[in-house]
Structure 1
């Protein structure tokens, strides 16, 4: 354990991967989670109760459960999803638990999440990036009837994530949402801030579209690490190289810099791809760290221990 104060931003499976890796180095972890999900169990609960979507928050809490029999059991309970076509069908138990606490503690989102963390004995803290539920809107380029590129507007995280075409730009509604104050404080006090991996335009990018969060990332004295995905096969990555993922961050958050960019060799297979990514890393003032962080058994996913090793080298100062 290094004792470093680490903040990890993202959502979904990508954030879970970084949190599980970071747990190998420190227990002082704060997860800052996107709150724009509008599909599945989260979307149903958000619509019915007018609350923050709990799904990505639940996944982050599960990822921070302690590495013991107790922790593994409660992580499984939190992630358990009910089967069937009834009212409970498709709901994750953790989503219902979070919703119940927010119902008992109106307008106390952070306290409710902290109580879940205490119940699970999590190794870290989970915070929403904003205290209001958000919608993602994207400009996507698709072929028109004549086969020529045309721009369309798609709204909603679940629709943007799966819509065919190339995502050109994303926006939030409301367009200047308030950041969670505890999240801003965590970034201010952090030794290391990690952004990514994850669905680039719906889990990673939204953090940069919250003005106060973006400013906190600009101002923090922490070491800033950008973790790239190990695969470009998801719908959101359509038409993008990893170098263009970095460039997209620059387009959405001009002036934001990083110290290190982590990429797996399988997304920079050629010399041209590596040179393009090095140039993109230069745009954000970062050193490119090419390290085998992909899982050998599960294509498209990060290997927790390999990613932990990459983070360890950066946090310990052996890189750079």
Structure 2
């Protein structure tokens, strides 16, 4: 059961709120870039199942957490100064060569080097955050590297038979529709600091991002799932701007909520943020939002250039509207 006394009752204004954002990759980076315009206290809890590219190679060779999504989150929270931007660019720089360094991101190598020196993944991320002057903290979702396994219905396969696809990089580009996703190991240990951040938050933001490989995995880590159910924080879900080829082909906005319900039937969502241009059936979405116990906030959060990319300032305004709405409700009830 969720605690009955929300931590945010004592918050004087939105920029004092403690906000935790869950996800990975470009979706989480978009959320973090927006949140830094809204509050001074941001924590990113990042998926650790990437097995492709530079992260996958380092993970396989050294047995470490995949650093790529963690690097992107750190970069999104860098200080808005020449120092912060220079180090952000250093972290994001990739080598291009005919040798073994080809494709490696400098930040991935730096993060893994710090992990080896300190022997502590959280302390290592905090140290890189200090180097960047990060406005916020970045934490791994779990304390061990994870593997994603999915049941996929292939376009030309038997309707009653699913194909097993293993690995985040493969699930993300599958040509079929994902019907079920699992983590290996099945009950991984959550990062203790990530659990504490959720329990102490005023708001938790879930999404946007690759639905089955960046967003839903948080619900499959017992410690994280338990914290989401028990925290007094409000929960906001940011819907994607378009279905992702492979993972969510054919998904409507409401389908995303129904799939969330399958994995966390008792999880209450307070606010669902959706771009009107990405909603095919408003009545269907309204019913799905009501089913998860939330309110719908329709705002244009897309870049408006025809691409499924979020505009930083528009998304920031949507988060501010959501936070202000609940703070106003608290003020009215306290009179």
What is the match of residue 302 of structure 2?
A: 294
Question: How far off its partner does 1:149 sit?
Answer: 5.3
Q: Is 1:220–2:231 an aligned residue pair? A: yes
Match of 1:70 among 83, 97, 100: 83
Question: How far off its partner does 1:142 sit?
Answer: 1.3
Alignment CA distance shift 1:196-1:154 (3 Å): same
Question: TM-score with structure 1 length normalisation?
Answer: 0.95
SS in 2 for 1:51: coil
Question: How far off its partner does 1:60 sit?
Answer: 0.1
What is the match of residue 198 of structure 2?
A: 187
What is the match of residue 63 of structure 2?
A: 50
Q: Aligned pairs, how many? A: 315
1:185-238: CA deviations, max 9, x gaps? 101110110000000000000000001100100111111100000112432121
Contact 2:19 2:203 survives alignment (8 Å): yes
Contact 1:139 1:167 survives alignment (8 Å): yes
What is the rounded CA distance, in whole Å, between the counterparts of 1:218 and 1:38 in structure 2? 29
What is the rounded CA distance, in whole Å, between the counterparts of 1:155 and 1:79 in structure 2? 27
What is the rounded CA distance, in whole Å, between the counterparts of 1:92 and 1:231 in structure 2? 28
Alignment CA distance shift 1:150-1:63 (3 Å): same
1:21-55: CA deviations, max 9, x gaps? 00001121000000000000000000000000000
Q: How does 1:229-268 map to 2 (within 5 A)?
A: 229-268=240-279
What is the match of residue 5 of structure 1?
A: 18
What is the rounded CA distance, in whole Å, between the counterparts of 1:19 and 1:118 in structure 2? 17
What is the rounded CA distance, in whole Å, between the counterparts of 1:298 and 1:174 in structure 2? 39
What is the match of residue 121 of structure 2?
A: 109
What is the rounded CA distance, in whole Å, between the counterparts of 2:37 and 2:156 in structure 1? 49
What is the rounded CA distance, in whole Å, between the counterparts of 1:315 and 1:233 in structure 2? 28
Q: Is 1:313–2:321 an aligned residue pair? A: yes
Contact 1:144 1:150 survives alignment (8 Å): no
What is the rounded CA distance, in whole Å, between the counterparts of 1:148 and 1:188 in structure 2? 42
What is the match of residue 129 of structure 1?
A: 141
- Structure 1's unaligned 5+ residue stretches are none
What is the match of residue 11 of structure 2?
A: none
Alignment CA distance shift 1:298-1:41 (3 Å): farther
Match of 2:131 among 107, 119, 124: 119
What is the rounded CA distance, in whole Å, between the counterparts of 2:260 and 2:293 in structure 1? 13
Match of 1:31 among 5, 29, 44: 44
Match of 2:290 among 273, 278, 282: 282
What is the match of residue 7 of structure 2?
A: none
Question: TM-score with structure 2 length normalisation?
Answer: 0.91
What is the rounded CA distance, in whole Å, between the counterparts of 1:199 and 1:100 in structure 2? 28
SS in 2 for 1:9: strand
Question: How far off its partner does 1:241 sit?
Answer: 1.1
What is the match of residue 162 of structure 1?
A: 173
What is the match of residue 202 of structure 1?
A: 213
SS in 2 for 1:236: coil
- Structure 2's unaligned 5+ residue stretches are 1-13, 330-335
Contact 2:261 2:292 survives alignment (8 Å): yes
